[in-house]
Structures are given as structure tokens and as C-alpha cells.
Chains A and B, each alone.
Chain A
Amino acid sequence: MEATRPFDFANLHFKGEGGTLIPLLQKVQTEEGYISKERIEEIHRKTGVPLSHIFGVATFYAQFRLRPVGRNIIKVCHGTACHVAGANAISASLKDILQIGDGETTPDRAFTVETVSCLGCCSLAPVIMVNKDTHGNLAPADLRKALAPYRSGKA
């Protein structure tokens, strides 16, 4: 249906170009950490893009989060090289330490854990990324120490 019934993107122009819904959602997420219901409604009111379309796009792409996140985001790489190097053990150990699964946030909002496809640092496998820091060549036993500075807000 989408291909045959194009939307009027006229109101959506962003520096004179069409196709700005995704950059808009990205901007919201960068600024607020996630995309709230209020923001989706606001985008709808300001641009006229149907709510269903905005929600459809927001749920299609893995990048968009519809729930608030913790102060620190842990991305656990599950690319091929990390898988071969034991990423499953890293995920299991994280679950053990933080008591949360993929996509979840600790009750104290210190951490959110996300599984990602590939961070592209394959020769450092297995790799996790905490906020913007990459930690490579990890063993499950290293995790507690690696996370401590983030928990205390010192990193």
C-alpha cells in the first residue's frame, strides 16, 4: 500500500528536502534518549503525517526506543566474530550481574542492555560498548570491573 499511496511530505521539509521523518525521530531520540508517546503525537500534529505511519516507522527500525533508558547504555555485540569468540557467555554473565535481559533497564536506571548485530571491531572480539567506550577482548569475569566506574558515575 505504501508504495502506491504516497504521502504529502510537503510539510515535512527539513533543509528543503523530503523524507525527514527518520531524521526527526533520530533527533528526538538523541535529545531525549527515547521517543515518547507525546513526541509522536507532536510530530503528527506539526507535520500531518498519520500517527500510524510514525508509529510504523518507529517500530520498524531497531534503533528507535519507545521506552526510557538508563543512564548508561551497554551494547553487547553479537556479530559473527563476537559470537565465535563467546558473546553468549558475555550476555549470560551480564544478565547474572544486572538481573535484566536484552532491551531492559535496571530498576535504579543505571544500565540498559541492548544486543546489537555488529559494532565492527571484530578483531577485539568479544566486544561491548558502554555509552561511547568500547571494551574488547572481554571474558565474563572482567565485566563487573568494567561496569563499576559507570555505576558510580565515574566514567
Chain B
Amino acid sequence: MKILVGLGTCGIAAGAAATYAAVLSRTGPLDGSCRVEKTGCAGMCYREPLVEVRDDDGTRWQYGQITPARVDRLVSEHVVNGSPVTDWLVWTSGGKGQEQAFIDRQHRIVLENCGVIDPEKIEEYLEKGGYQALEKVLARKDPDGLIGQIIESGLRGRGGAGFLTGMKWRFTRLAPGKQKYVICNADEGDPGAFMDRSVLESDPHAVLEGMAIAGHAIGATKGYIYVRAEYPLAVERLTIAIAQAEARGLLGDGILGTGFEFHVSLKEGAGAFVCGEETALIASIEGRRGMPRVRPPFPAVKGLWESPTNINNVETFANVPWIVRNGAEAFSRLGTAKSKGTKVFAMAGKIRRGGLVEVPMGISIREIVHDVCGGIKENRKFKAVQMGGPSGGCIPAELEDTVIDYESINKTGAIMGSGGLVVVDETTCMVDMARFFLDFTQRESCGKCTFCRIGTRRMLEILSRITAGQGVDGDIEKLESLALLVKNNSLCGLGQTAPNPVLTTLKYFRAEYEAHISNRKCPAHQCQALLTYTINEKCNGCGVCGRACSAKAITGEKRKPHVIDHEKCIRCDECYRACRFDAITRM
């Protein structure tokens, strides 16, 4: 029997390191038949810290919210006495958990090993068939056939744009040049996205193997992983993984006894969203300011140090070993006509089960939100999903039958993006949401193109004015015309897509903009400047609101209805949250 503790960043943030220590000290005195191991992220962020008990026959029992205080009972009952603690069981391989639907509706290719193996032990990756795909392609010595296989699988880039991966490899292979490079884009800058981080933390070898296979396909001997500086644990685990793979002759010179050499180095980003764009990323690796340049020439022809370079996303690479092992056909059987395989989404926002899910392409938004993620918290109303972060848009609840495939998502005005999916309910203001993203893109614009640099700022000013209750007639039209100008006059994807959050919210939630401007009302009751707080007849004069009010705007005698002085009220919401009698009306 073994006990596995999920030690990804979200697990650790939720206290998993203390749980791990508690498990070690509780099992230490036992007879040694129960091993304790670390594993990565199982994706159930909403029930962290996660602890799994795995029987010798492989039966898995996943427990949720295992704080150190719960460790003793868990070990005593399940490990020592052999009776699982059903109260805390979230998922079991035998179908007995409380939240079975979360895992059972998924189809795991990229996340196959995440939360299953110890990412710091290459042996465990090898046991799962790791590096067999690399061995296979090196034995076949047919890079063109390999590229053909990747094209046939239908794998498209998971970094956002969805370009056919095999085609990109072919262009790089055909480009003239002695030295070629493979780059793994692990910059994951979209706020609300953490898929790539989890893969790197939980199954780093899958990404390394995918890169080495790409290296063989295009004829490169050197690879870089450009990883976000905010991901220290991913950096640590990648460093361990590279060293282990080199020690076993799976990376480095003369891989697996063949003449193929492939070296991987890490480059840490320094906090610039635009560096996720491929030409900016290359500039950053070269030690310059990360500013995009005109394409063509594409990196496939002229990339790092002016040499042909193939850039793919983390998740794209993680799919590759699976495709080589299981065949292109097994992959292309999943999904829709033009979008094959699966997609990993980082689910966050107002849903019951937030975390990492991997679903087959072709599943509908409704199924993801309601079936996999359990619907909206506190029984509120599902309003929209935001897909694709600052480059994407909002898809309203009415379109929840839209299926996950590049073309269908594009039709709504949003984009597939890299996989951040934030679900919002009726308490989220869509104008504020658009403002949030414009604030982000405006800050992250590198400044090279005037329309992106200044246009996004002007758009932000208008949105700020509207949410502050100072919108004027004509603001919506101004936003629309600026949006078009920014879209059409920017060099890279940052500017070209920055207006999407505004355009999609205008398309589906125009009435909310109008309510802010014409009626000075925020229908979601979120924009503070537009709120009025009053005390209604339910007030029994308990005085809690008055004590909560930092502006001293609430007065009244004990046990008599209180009143709010609107001149003094700073609309901080504290009274509304403090009142237990529903006696404060927020309009």
C-alpha cells in the first residue's frame, strides 16, 4: 500500500506540505508496509490538500481536504484497519467517491500521469511507458514519417492560435540552416490559466520527451524551455528532470546509444506577458527587451540567433509522446472534424469544482460547467464563461451549447486560447470584466505599436469612466471604433486581440453598458460608485452595521431602525456583509 500526497503549487498553497509531514510522522512507526510518496496535481484544486491511498493492486482512493488534523483518523482507519473513510472520499477508481463526475467525465492524455506519479522520480515515468516514444522514433530514423504522423493526428498548437503542429515542424525541418532550435513556450501569462504550470510540476518528463522528439523531427540538437519566473516549483522539478534524463542517456549526447544529441536548458522569464508571443520570447532569450517583430520571416525560418526555430506550447509537447505511442489514429478519433484530441482547461471563478480538467474536444460548455464542474456556487445563476484571457472573450449562458473546438469558439468572438476558463455568475459586472482585461493589456503592451500602446489606454479610460458612473452618450460607439483601430493596426497578437473582451461583452451584454451610462446603475451591483445603500424595514436596530462602518455613516438608537447618511457613505459594502437580517438594500 502507498500514500501519495499531492504537492503541486495549489496543494502546497492549501497546506499540503504540512499534511505530507503529518503523514510521514504518523506512518513512521508502522511496520513499513505502507510507503509515502509525493505526487503532482490531480486537478481537484477545490478539495486540496489531496491524499491518495493506493492499494497494491492499483485501486485508488482519493481523499480531499486532508488537513494535518485528519491524518491520524485516515491512517488509522484506512491503512491500519483497512476500512476507507467514506466521509472524505472524493474519488475512487472503483466509482465510490462523492465527486466521481469530476474525474469520470474527463479524458486524460496530457494529464495522464499528473497526480499519479512522483514527478521527481524518472523511474515512475519510465514505468508508465515514458521515453518509449522517443526510443521508437530514434529506432525508426524516419523524421519525415514522424512529421507525417503528427500531421495525421490533427494535433494543433495548444498555445492559443491552433496551428497544425506537424506542419510547423515540417517548415522548420525544410528551412535551410545547420543549427536549429526547439523552444518550449512555458510563459503562461494569461491571468486565470495554470494548465502548463501543473503539467510542468506534475509530469515534466512528458514535456522533455515531446521536445526531444520534435528535435529529432526537425533536426535540432538544442532546446530551450522559457518558463515564467512566477513558477519556481516548475523550474525546480524541470531542473531535476533534465538531470535525471541526462544521467540515463535520454537527453544529452548520444541519446539511447544512437548518434542523436539533444540538450535542454531553462530560461526564466522576467515578468512580461508579451514575451509569450513567439518573436518577443526569442528576443527575451537573446537578452533583449521582449518586443515582437514583423513576421515573416517566421521563427521556423529565422528564429533564435537567426536560426530556424520551432516553438510550441507545453501542452502541445506533452501530447506528442502519447501520439507516437498510441498512433495518430487513436488521437484523431477524439474530437471534432477539425479539432482533435483533448484540451486541458484551468477552471476557476464561481463554479463548485474549480481545478484542472482535460476533456475531449467537442464537449459543450454546458457539460464542462454543469456536469464536470458541478455548476455555479451558492445556487446562483450561470451568466457567462470567459475564455482565452485578455485575448479572448465572454461567451454568455445562452450559448452554453457551443462545443469546444477552435472554429466554434471563434464564431462566438472568443478564442480557445491556452485554456483559462473563468466562470461568472449574475454578481459579476461585465463592463468591469472588460475593464479588468483592458487594464491588463494596457499595462502589458510593449509600446512598439501606437494603436496598442495608446489605443488600449484610451479604451481603458472610457471603461473606467463608465464603471465609475461617469459614462456619457457616445462612449459605446467610441469604444467600438477604437477597438477596430487597435485590432487592425497592431503588429502582434497582443494588440490584435486586446479589444476582444470589450467587443464580446458589447455583443452579448450591451444592455449592461447602457444601464451604467444612461441609468447610472450597475445591474450586477458590483460597480461601487453606482451603488446606493439604504436600510429597510427589516432592521431591528442591533447596531452591527454601525460598528462595521468605517466611515461612521450609520446612526440610530438601539433597537430602532438605523439610517445611512449617503453623504458620508463610502460604499465599502461592509454593512451589507455584516447585516444578518437582510436589512440593507443595495441598489
Interface contact A22-B191, CB-CB below 8 Å: no
A63 and B192 contact, Cβ closer than 8 Å, known pairs A23-B268, A26-B268, A124-B14: no
Chain B residues near A147 (CB-CB < 8 A)? none
B327-335, B346-354, B395-403 - the one binding chain A: B346-354
Contact of A136 among B13, B230, B286, B346 (CB under 8 A): B13
Chain B residues near A57 (CB-CB < 8 A)? 287-289
A18 and B270 contact, Cβ closer than 8 Å, known pairs A80-B422, A124-B14: no
Interface contact B288-A122, CB-CB below 8 Å: no
CB distance from A105 to the nearest CB of B (A): 18
Contact of B45 among A12, A21, A122 (CB under 8 A): A122
A124 and B10 contact, Cβ closer than 8 Å, known pairs A3-B293, A26-B270, A81-B192: yes
User: Which residue of B269, B271, B288, B420 has the most chain A CB atoms within 10 A of its CB atom?
Assistant: B288
Interface contact B289-A123, CB-CB below 8 Å: no
Contact of A122 among B229, B265, B286, B346 (CB under 8 A): B346
CB distance from B31 to the nearest CB of A (A): 36
Interface contact B13-A127, CB-CB below 8 Å: yes
Chain A residues near B348 (CB-CB < 8 A)? 80-81, 122-123, 125
Interface contact A124-B13, CB-CB below 8 Å: yes
Residue of B nearest to A56 (CB): B289
A81 and B422 contact, Cβ closer than 8 Å, known pairs A60-B272, A61-B270: yes
Q: Does B406 contact A (CB under 8 A)?
A: no
- Counting contact residues on chain A (CB < 8 A from B), the size range is 35 or more
Interface contact B270-A120, CB-CB below 8 Å: no
Residue of A nearest to B289 (CB): A60
Q: Does B103 contact A (CB under 8 A)?
A: no
Chain B residues near A12 (CB-CB < 8 A)? 287
Q: Does B312 contact A (CB under 8 A)?
A: no
Residue of A nearest to B288 (CB): A2
Interface contact B290-A118, CB-CB below 8 Å: no
In the bound complex, CA of A123 to CA of B46 (Å): 6
CB distance from B533 to the nearest CB of A (A): 16
User: Which residue of B286, B290, B348, B386 has the most chain A CB atoms within 10 A of its CB atom?
Assistant: B348
Q: Does B194 contact A (CB under 8 A)?
A: yes
A22 and B349 contact, Cβ closer than 8 Å, known pairs A2-B289, A117-B189: no
In the bound complex, CA of A25 to CA of B288 (Å): 12
Interface contact A124-B12, CB-CB below 8 Å: no
Interface contact B350-A84, CB-CB below 8 Å: yes
In the bound complex, CA of A117 to CA of B45 (Å): 19
In the bound complex, CA of A122 to CA of B12 (Å): 13
Contact of A124 among B45, B189, B273, B389 (CB under 8 A): B45
A118 and B190 contact, Cβ closer than 8 Å, known pairs A81-B422, A124-B10: yes
Chain B residues near A22 (CB-CB < 8 A)? 267-268, 270, 284, 287
In the bound complex, CA of A36 to CA of B538 (Å): 60
Q: Does B260 contact A (CB under 8 A)?
A: no
Q: Does B509 contact A (CB under 8 A)?
A: no
Number of A-B contacts (CB under 8 A): 134
Q: Does B202 contact A (CB under 8 A)?
A: no
Interface contact B349-A81, CB-CB below 8 Å: yes
Contact of A80 among B230, B231, B272, B420 (CB under 8 A): B420
Interface contact A61-B272, CB-CB below 8 Å: yes
In the bound complex, CA of A102 to CA of B386 (Å): 27
Q: Interface readout for A67-97 with B: 1 if CB under 8 Å, 0 if not? A: 0000000000011110110000100000000
Contact of A63 among B229, B286, B287, B354 (CB under 8 A): B229
CB distance from A129 to the nearest CB of B (A): 8
User: Which residue of A2, A64, A80 has the most chain B CB atoms within 10 A of its CB atom?
Assistant: A80
Interface contact A123-B386, CB-CB below 8 Å: no
Chain A residues near B231 (CB-CB < 8 A)? 120
Q: Interface readout for B429-441 with A: 1 if CB under 8 Å, 0 if not? A: 0000100110010
A83 and B273 contact, Cβ closer than 8 Å, known pairs A118-B193, A121-B9: no
Q: Does B285 contact A (CB under 8 A)?
A: yes
In the bound complex, CA of A20 to CA of B190 (Å): 26
Q: Does B424 contact A (CB under 8 A)?
A: yes
Chain A residues near B287 (CB-CB < 8 A)? 9, 12, 18-22, 57
CB distance from B528 to the nearest CB of A (A): 9
Chain B residues near A83 (CB-CB < 8 A)? 191, 436
Interface contact A78-B14, CB-CB below 8 Å: no
Chain B residues near A18 (CB-CB < 8 A)? 286-287, 305
Q: Does B355 contact A (CB under 8 A)?
A: yes
Contact of A17 among B265, B291, B386, B424 (CB under 8 A): B265
Contact of B192 among A3, A80, A136 (CB under 8 A): A80
Chain A residues near B290 (CB-CB < 8 A)? 60-61
Q: Which 9 A-B pairs have the closest CB atoms?
A: A134-B13, A122-B348, A61-B270, A123-B45, A80-B192, A62-B271, A79-B191, A123-B354, A81-B348
Residues of B in contact with A (beta carbons under 8 Å apart): 9-10, 12-14, 45-46, 48, 188-194, 197, 229-231, 265, 267-273, 283-291, 293, 305, 346-350, 354-355, 386, 389, 420, 422, 424, 428, 433, 436-437, 440, 444, 446, 573
Known pairs A18-B305, A21-B287, A22-B267 / 16 extra A-B pairs, C-beta < 8 Å: A2-B283, A2-B288, A3-B293, A20-B287, A23-B268, A57-B287, A80-B192, A80-B389, A80-B437, A89-B573, A117-B273, A118-B190, A119-B230, A123-B46, A123-B347, A127-B13
Can you list 12 A-B contacts (CB < 8 A)? A18-B286, A18-B287, A23-B268, A25-B270, A26-B270, A79-B191, A80-B191, A80-B386, A117-B191, A120-B188, A120-B194, A123-B355
Residues of A in contact with B (beta carbons under 8 Å apart): 2-3, 9, 12, 17-23, 25-26, 53, 56-57, 60-64, 78-81, 83-84, 89, 116-125, 127, 134, 136
